[in-house]
């Protein structure tokens, strides 16, 4: 595991638990900077925590409790700003099928913690 990956690992664990286990959109959104941007490629852009929260609420309702596996993970940058990308595959509950996609995120250090300032993803 690279140094940059080990820095972000606890944040991804919080994200996964909040999104797929606890269904907690507030906790997921807390990982974003106040002026963070979330882009659903080719569809829509969400700016700031209020818009990102509303999107996360709807996405969590749609996905429910599921399991997600990451693959092809890549990390670049330094301890102040980390770029991360990955493919993902989520098994949705109750025979809901499989959702696949990719994401590219930029995490910036604010004091002692990291927040997402840019997040673009695709899913199908």
Residue 111 near residue 37, CB atoms below 8 Å = no
Burial class of residue 83, CB neighbours in 10 A (0-12, 13-18, 19+):
middle
What's residue 36's pLDDT?
A: 99
Q: State pTM to two decimals.
A: 0.93
Return the pLDDT at 66: 84
Kindly indicate whether the domain formed by 3-123 is annotated with CATH number 3.10.450.50. Answer: yes
Residue 87 pLDDT: 98
- Residue-by-residue pLDDT tens, the chain, 124 positions: 899 999 999 999 999 999 999 999 999 999 999 999 999 999 999 999 999 999 999 999 988 898 899 999 999 999 999 999 999 999 988 778 899 999 999 999 999 999 999 999 999 9
Which residue's entry shows tokens 């995490």? 107
For the chain, the domains span 3-123
């Amino acid at each position: 595991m690279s140094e940059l990956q080990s820095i972000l690992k606890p944040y991804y664990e919080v994200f996964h638990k909040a999104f797929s286990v606890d269904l907690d959109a507030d906790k997921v959104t807390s990982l974003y900077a106040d002026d963070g941007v979330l882009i659903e490629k080719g569809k829509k852009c969400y700016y700031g925590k209020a818009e990102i929260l509303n999107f996360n609420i709807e996405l969590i309702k749609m996905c429910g409790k599921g399991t997600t596996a990451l693959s092809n993970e890549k990390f670049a940058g330094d301890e102040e700003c980390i770029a991360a990308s990955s493919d993902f595959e989520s098994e949705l509950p109750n025979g809901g099928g499989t959702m696949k996609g990719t994401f590219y995120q930029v995490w910036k250090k604010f004091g002692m913690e990291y927040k997402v300032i840019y997040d673009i993803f695709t899913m199908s």
